[in-house]
Amino acid sequence: MKKLFILLFLCCFNFVVFAMPESNVAKSTEVIKADIDKQEYNKAINAGESEYNKSKDSKVALYLGKAYFLKQNYQKAVQYFSAAANKNEALAMLTLGNLYGSGVGVRQDYVKAVYWYKKAIAKGNVAAMNYLGLIYRDGIGSIQKDSKSAFDLFTKAASNNNDEGYFNLGYLYQNGIGVSKDNAKAIENYIQAANLGNILAMNNLAYMYENGLGVQKSYKGALDWYLLAAAKGDANAQCMVGQYYFNGTGVNKDYILAKTWFLQGKKHGCKEADDYLAKIKAAEINSSK
């Protein structure tokens, strides 16, 4: 779960400045954002500090927090994220939740992580619904498992047409966590998530088609889902497509296609790719004798 926090809190930094009447603060915010995008963090910090000292604007504080974080000055980052959060910036609340959950820049404190996630949720932040739901699903530190709350949070996220919300609901149904195990409902939610581009859902759907879980067993159906995930660069799916063609599972054996997909999988980190590529090379040598 700690690794999960470290990976997930970075997503909070794709901030958006919404349209507003042009003002000095709005213009300054755009300049700070542009400097961060260009990785000119010192320049962003200097402009941000100057503007914040004059305006105490919440979005300026938000971007200052980002700039300091990317400079790895975590103490300052937390200072400005806290300032923005206390001025009702939901993204800052979400970020603080992730920082306290991961222990980056602050002492790890899951209670405080939950506090900030709840604050962000109250402002309608969908990502916080999923993160808090994961905490309740698995339990961590002094936070006890609460499957019902996890289900409610994922349902709320899914009601906002959020792919992770649908995926997390599917996972609960597939594994019978807080609900009766129901593979058909798992598939229903995974399909919603996959249609929104969720790669994990595509892989899980492929697995369920492979094994006939909640659906008639179909290698073709499984391959279709693996291909969709593979096309998005997923290493696991790329190697699975390679295995389908290598073994002739639901398709004709085709070492050329298998090799193509294993090479893609290797490029993206599939550990099994080298073994299969070696087998294909051996088969090619034997066939040439």
Q: Directed axis angle between helix 24-37 and helix 41-55, to 10°?
A: 160
CA angle 247, 253, 255 (to 5 degrees): 90
Nearest to 239 by CA among 277, 272, 204, 199: 272
CA distances from 173 to 177, 204, 231, 243 (A): 7, 12, 27, 28
Pairwise CA distance, residues 93 & 48, whole Å: 19
Residues 81 and 99: beta-carbon distance below 8 Å: yes
Per-residue pLDDT tens digits for 151-188: 999 999 999 999 999 999 999 999 999 999 999 999 99
Determine the Cα–Cα distance for residues 216 and 138; give it in Å rounded to an integer. Answer: 31
Which regions of the chain are under pLDDT 50?
6-7, 9-10, 15-22
* 255-281 pLDDT, tens digit each: 999 999 999 999 999 999 999 999 999
